[in-house]
Amino acid sequence: MCPDLGRAKLPAMPIPTLVIHGGAGLVKAHIFAEHQEADYHAGLSAALAAGLAVLAAGGPALDAAQRAVEVLEDHPGFNAGRGAVYAHEGHIELDASIMCGATGRAGAVAGVRTLRHPIQGARVVLERSAHVLLAGAGADTYCAGQGVATAPPAHFHTDLRWQQLQAAKTADRIALDHDGAPGPVTDAKLGTVGAVALDAAGRLAAATSTGGMTNKRWGRIGDSPLIGAGTFADGRVAISCTGHGEHFMRHVAAHAVAQRVELLGEPLGAACQAVLDRIEAGGGLGGLIAVDAGGAIALPFNTGGMFRGHQAVGGPATVAIW
């Protein structure tokens, strides 16, 4: 469990709040070929409801963030868990991370192929291991040994993702033929899911899970499983990012938001926007979600859309794409 450190410094009665995302990107019309817009709204709403139920019952932010991500990992339309994009070789490689702001403890897995809920693997690394990040087959083995449920490749397969891989591979060959610049081809919707939560005790937590980028190769890992880049939480803020991971890694994006809030005293929204502006200046696309200890939230993105939602206990649920 996540002990209640630093509580005395936090607001007396914060309103428990949850913010989620299901990825940012161009969100072109073809994304809706297999799953309708209403289906995405339903998926976001279900994740929001599941996480908020934890908070409404007085549960910890860490559990609420994890629960919301688990629901999104089960939805085949999001690029995490079931429905994850394919790597170049035709298999999935899943990344996830989770952090408790009250304790500073964190866990992550990268490049796992068998965990039904990679975020549960990240939580087990946080709770039971002496490490922060486990990768590859070792991570699969460790997490399965700790009781994290596994699933066969068929569980993760969707026809849409398979077709996207074939299209990306074709584009790679074209890129090689014409400009000699082989490399990963990004999905129109970059994907990834995440959640940040503030609980009734003032504790913050962040969680992120992804299949990464379509047609990724050579064991490529993005920002999502990297504490400080794709996920971060402390006593003041919790952040989960989505987008072109290499850019978020170079800017150590999630930690940069926290540092701006702590050292510059910037409001949460301004800090998030400043970091996203820097990422955009370097050509990076994506977005992030954040909540602070006072219950302020921010959900900026610089893409055509970002699947997102937020709700405070006792308040209305809001979900949006564009």
Q: Is 242 a catalytic residue?
A: no
Binding-site size, ligand ASP (CB under 6 A) = 15
Applying CB under 6 A, among 213, 254, 289, 306 the residue interacting with ligand ASP is 213
146 or 278, CB closer to ligand ASP?
Answer: 278
- Adjacency order of strands within the sheet including 237-243: 231-233, 237-243, 286-292, 297-298
Q: Give the distance, in angstroms, between the CA of residue 283 and the centroid of all CA atoms in the same chain.
A: 20
Return d(Cα 3, Cα 317) in angstroms, integer: 28
For tokens 């540092």, name the residue. Answer: 259
Beta bridge partners of 309: 20, 319
Residues 183-212 that bind ligand ASP (CB under 6 A): 190-192, 210, 212
Q: Which of 114, 186, 192, 214 is catalytic?
A: 192
Contact status, residue 204 vs residue 198, Cβ threshold 8 Å:
yes
Pairing between strand 106-112 and 94-100?
Answer: antiparallel
Under the binding rule (CB under 6 A), the answer on residue 215 touching ligand ASP is: no
Pairing between strand 204-210 and 94-100?
Answer: antiparallel
Under the binding rule (CB under 6 A), the answer on residue 305 touching ligand ASP is: no
Site string for ligand ASP, 216-255 (x = CB under 6 A): ------xxx-----x-----------xxxx----------
CB neighbour class for 146 (10 Å; exposed up to 12, middle 13-18, buried from 19)? middle
Q: How far is the CB of 229 from ligand ASP (least distance, A)?
A: 9
Q: How far is the CB of 243 from ligand ASP (least distance, A)?
A: 5
Residues lying near ligand ASP in the complex (CB under 6 A) are found at 23, 190-192, 210, 212-213, 222-224, 230, 242-245
Catalogue the active-site residues.
192
